[in-house]
Chains A and B, each alone.
Chain A
Amino acid sequence: MTKLEAKNLQVSFGNVAVITGLNLSIPEGSITALMGPSGSGKSTLLRVFNRLIELYPEAHVGGYVYLDGQDIFEIDVIELRRRVQMIFQIPNPIPNLSIFENVALGLKLNRLAKNRKELYQRVKTALEKAQLWDEVKDRLNAPAGKLSGGQQQRLCVARSLAFEPEVLLADEPTANLDPENTAKIEALLLDLKKEMTIVLVTHFPQQAARISDYVAFLYKGQIVERGPTKDIFTKPRHELTEKYVTGRLY
């Protein structure tokens, strides 16, 4: 089943074309890794999927993206962002808000919890799923800025999970973390793919090899090659892909 599909997608910032006629389908319930050198359009592509691209006034988007066969530009943006959540390269909890409030705020603003009890329950569930609950359950009112980098990133995962999204976009979520925390996030993503579709942007071919089911290799705003992870790494069809996975293109 295809969850997300991009058809002839084009994105430009001013005069600079970043994505030039990209076609990609992302299967449901899997981890699809987007790999590619800097400036190949990976992060931009993610920001199209939840329309955060619209925060950049100079960005111009053409083509189509479908979520469950529905044009995302015709879905209400609020509903879209609830269904398609995102975690970022730099952990970005609201630093002066408490741990609890960081997860609860989105639920409150979107009126997703009927009462305080349900709110608490959903926050707790989200923190549990993000494997952070045991570390923070005694200090839910502490400011989020006091958490370590790895904990902050898992808090951001919890914040996204609280929405019970269908798709989780992860924009190099471990780029700023140490190996131990990286392992935790990777384990978490593997666990989460049972419930949702994950699109992972990564700079590390090894990471894609470890946890993804499919890999799409981007170069200069186009998909060079897409396939099951194993095939991409063992028998890449394209020369550029081979160069990249062997560390000769970056």
Chain B
Amino acid sequence: MTSTRKVLNWIGMGLFVLLGVAATIPLFLIIIDIYSKGIDAINRLGGLWHFLTSEPPSPLSKSGGVGPPLIGTLYMTALGAIGGFALGFPLGVYIGEMRREKLANAARVGVNVLVEFPTITIGLFVYAVMGLVQDDLNRYILGPVSATLKAALGNSVFYNYVSWFVGPLDSFNAYAGAAALALVMIPYVALITASAYASVAQPLREAAYGIGGREFNALFIVMRKVVSRAVLTAALIGTAKIAGETAPLLFTAFGNNYYAPFTGSTGAVSLWIYAASETPYNVQIMSAYGAAAVLLTIILILFISARIKAIHD
């Protein structure tokens, strides 16, 4: 009898191992495929530095890169991550700590729905909002602001820099893209934060109120330090998530192959991959593989630093 049980145990364990391996095979196939083709492409298109800084190749050129889309991705991801964290973190604290309030429960349900939303609808939403507010925003706020800046700075080089960031917005612009990314990130950060706060043991919560003084300090300083690890992970994983998003940017940032002000349509690496892989031109398809390798590297760095931080502590 014992030996039958052992054999069954081996078979069972063997199946689990097999399933585990099967689950990771696609992951490694994707990584290997993208890096082997991507690195080859980057070398053929003019080397890493050239690839990271130059404009995407036109159909008949022999070299090119992802400079403008990369800058756009970095800028929009950074803004989106800041916005998403700034809203998602307090929301998560509210959901996690005020579990007995009806509104907090409603917020929890809402966030759970939002996390499953097709991200393209979020892009559409921001596009619609942009259409509503663009005129007034430009006329009453951004126009005067940029005029004031121009008057203050004159036509200096410095004003040229500033005007890349501040000015009347086109209907496609980096800020709309960042807003869409922030909306995608909010529920991720909120849910991880909420579960981290909810898991804080009652003695630590009491200690937090005992030493924190006002409730704000207890919740956002003392208890944040208790759950800092989870909050950091939430921020990094949320950032990784939005760095690779394409759909929310289609109607908001739109994409751009040239270095251009962020107030107008802005490129993103993911958008370039999408656009280039649809063309019949080999050089552009190659650059899409290179771009995929760059994007994957950004995301892996974010994920791995989140993992290392978790293991290190």
| Residues of A47-62 contacting chain B, CB below 8 A | 47, 50, 52, 55, 57-58
How far apart sit A89 and B212, CA to CA, in the bound complex (Å)? 19
Q: Which single residue of chain A is at the shortest CB-CB distance from B202?
A: A55
A184 vs B8: C-alpha distance in the bound complex, in angstroms? 56
Q: Does the CB pair B206–A106 fall under 8 Å?
A: no
The answer to whether B279 has its CB under 8 Å from any CB of chain A is no
Task: Please tell me if the beta carbons of B210 and A110 are within 8 angstroms of each other in the complex.
Answer: no
Contact A85 B213 (CB under 8 A): no
Rounded to whole Å, the gap between the CB of B273 and the closest CB of chain A is 39
Given A94-B225, A97-B225, check contact A78 B206 (CB 8 Å). no
**A57 and B100: CB pair below 8 A?**
yes
Closest Cβ of chain B: how far from A101's Cβ, in Å? Answer: 8
Interface residues of B in 165-180 (CB under 8 A from A): none
Once the chains bind, are B226 and A105 in contact (CB under 8 Å)? no
Expressed in whole angstroms, the Cα–Cα distance for A133 and B227 within the complex equals 27
List 16 contacting pairs A-B, 8 Å CB cutoff, sorted by A.
Answer: A52-B209, A78-B213, A85-B210, A86-B206, A88-B203, A89-B203, A90-B201, A92-B204, A92-B207, A94-B226, A95-B226, A96-B228, A96-B313, A105-B222, A109-B211, A110-B213
Q: What's the least CB distance linking A20 to chain B, in Å?
A: 24
Whether B222 lies near A109 (C-beta < 8 A) is yes
Chain A 76-113: CB-based contact to B (< 8 A → 1; otherwise 0): 00100110011011101111110000000110011000
Docked Cα-Cα span, A88 to B204, in Å, equals 10
Determine whether the beta carbon of B100 is less than 8 Å from that of A52: no
Q: Which residues of B contact A86 (CB under 8 A)?
A: 206, 210
Given A94-B225, A96-B229, A109-B222, answer yes or no on A55-B205 (Cβ-Cβ < 8 Å): yes
In the assembly, what is the distance between CA of A160 and CA of B206, in Å? 13
- A residues with CB within 8 A of B: 47, 50, 52, 55, 57-58, 78, 81-82, 85-86, 88-90, 92-97, 105-106, 109-110, 156, 159-160, 163
Task: Taking A92-B207, A105-B222, A163-B211 as given, write out 9 further A-B residue pairs in contact, using a Cβ cutoff of 8 Å, ordered by the A residue number.
Answer: A86-B206, A88-B206, A88-B207, A90-B201, A92-B206, A94-B204, A96-B225, A96-B228, A109-B211
B binding-site residues for A, Cβ under 8 Å? 100, 201, 203-207, 209-214, 217, 221-222, 225-226, 228-229, 313
For A97, the chain B residues whose CB sits under 8 A away are 225
State whether B229 touches A156 (Cβ < 8 A).
no
A141 to chain B minimum Cβ distance, whole angstroms, is 15
Question: What separation, in Å, do the CA atoms of A59 and B153 have in the docked complex?
Answer: 61
Q: How many A-B residue pairs have C-beta atoms within 8 angstroms? Tell me.
A: 63
> Are A156 and B207 closer than 8 Å at their CB atoms?
yes
Q: How far is the CA of A77 from the CA of B209 in the complex (A)?
A: 10
* B contact residues around A159 at 8 Å (CB): 207, 211
- Residue of B with least CB distance to A56: B202
Chain B residues near A85 (CB-CB < 8 A): 210
Distance between Cα atoms of A25 and B310 in the complex (Å): 49
Q: In the bound complex, how far is the Cα of B156 from the Cα of A188, in angstroms?
A: 69
A110–B211 Cα gap in the complex (Å)? 8
Closest to A169 in B: B210
- Nearest B residue to A103 by beta-carbon distance? B211
